[in-house]
Amino acid sequence: MVMKTQRLAVLLALAAAIPAAAAAQSFEELLNSAGSSAEVPAAPAVSAPRVQAGAYREAQQYLPPNNDNPGFDWPRPHKSAGADYFTTGPSATFFKASQAQAEDLAEGTGKCALAPNTLYKTVARPGFTGMHVMAQLSEPLPGCSVTRGYIYMPHVSSTSAGGLWELPKNVRAFLDTLAYAEGTKEHYDYIFTFVTFSSYADHPRRAICSGSLCSTAAGRYQFLSKTWDALAADLGLTDFTPPSQEKACVELLRRAGAYTLAAKASKYENFSAAVNKINTIWASMPGSPYGQPTHTKAELWKVYKAALAKY
């Protein structure tokens, strides 16, 4: 016991000796990491609590087999120098030195204003962490000392990393409706029961139990880890970033025979038919067989029309 105590004391002393410069260096390391996005290290997976047999049931998610149904032809990632960017949405927002709330940061040194509907060039492809896009600006903003920072993800309409904005507006609105039904809305960083994660390096693989259900569902579209693993292998996805989540979700729609219907979902009969085809994949859909709370088709139709109006 004495030896263990001494070892713990040494480890704590070493941790305290790490220079503060490491925090400043971490952002550059994130942006320079390999792949389509820069990520913080993944947290260790947390297993579901041990319970008596029969007390909990495991969440289920049907994975349709691969097939020849039509889907979306995603654009290939660009490779031209100087072409990386992010574009702000319709509201003014801030480029921030940290992920803190904008109101807690000082003008010019902690945050700098970004104009709405404006493209900003970056030195590398933007990355993602939690609810923020990470980027390094290719040119400084006027009167601003922040060149490497964060933008609140819902305030970003597109980035050179790709994703939701590349899809037709009918499909975007359909995915917004699905996210509403799953309770995630704009959050790509949700785990079952609204626990959050920061790193998009991989599916968080954290099993959480609530009520009588245990689930590893994560992301905007609540992929179970086993569903994600199969899709990632088939699609060649190497991370769990928002663009990867979009590709995997659209692949599920395609395999279920729902993509072409979602692309024409501005007509109710197509919307209704698409919903009917995916209720064995997502437990929140009307008619789902999994015994979890569901939404009515009439409610989701209203959500869809409101989402479509934004585009």
Tens of pLDDT, residue by residue over 238-284, are 999 999 999 999 999 999 999 999 999 999 999 999 999 999 999 99
Compute the average pLDDT of residues 30-43.
41
> Are β-strands 156-159 and 190-191 bridged in parallel, bridged antiparallel, or unpaired?
unpaired
Q: What is the DSSP string of 66-114?
A: P-------PPPPP--TT--EEEE-SS-EEEESSSS-GGGS-BTTTEEEE
Which pLDDT belongs to residue 231?
Answer: 98
Is pLDDT at 34 greater than 80 in this prediction?
no
- The band of 167, judged by pLDDT with boundaries at 50, 70 and 90, is very high
Q: Quote the pLDDT of residue 102.
A: 96
Is 217 found in the same domain as 91?
A: no
pLDDT beyond 80 at 48: no
Q: Is residue 21 one of the residues assigned to a domain?
A: no
Residue 14 in domain? no
Higher pLDDT, 130 or 44: 130
The catalytic residue among 28, 58, 182, 251 is 182
Which residues contact residue 74 at a Cβ distance below 8 angstroms, ignoring those fewer than 6 apart?
Answer: 162, 166, 247
Q: Does residue 6 surpass a pLDDT of 50?
A: no
Q: Is residue 229 part of a domain?
A: yes
Do 285 and 234 lie in one domain? The reply is yes
Please work out, in degrees rounded to the nearest 5, the angle formed at the alpha carbon of residue 188 by the alpha carbons of 134 and 206: 110
Chosen domain end from 138, 159, 180: 159
Residue 124 token pair: 């590398």
DSSP state of 48: P
Angstrom CA distances, 217 to 70, 88, 114, 213, stand at: 26, 29, 34, 11
Q: Judge whether 191 lies within some domain.
A: yes
3-state helix, strand, coil in the chain (%, to 5): 35, 15, 50
Q: Is 269 a catalytic residue?
A: no
Which pLDDT belongs to residue 76? 85
Query: What pairing do the DSSP bridges indicate for beta strands 213-215 and 119-121?
Result: unpaired
Whether the pLDDT of residue 20 is over 90: the answer is no
* pTM of the predicted structure, to 2 decimals: 0.84
Q: Which domain holds residue 302?
A: 69-75+162-310
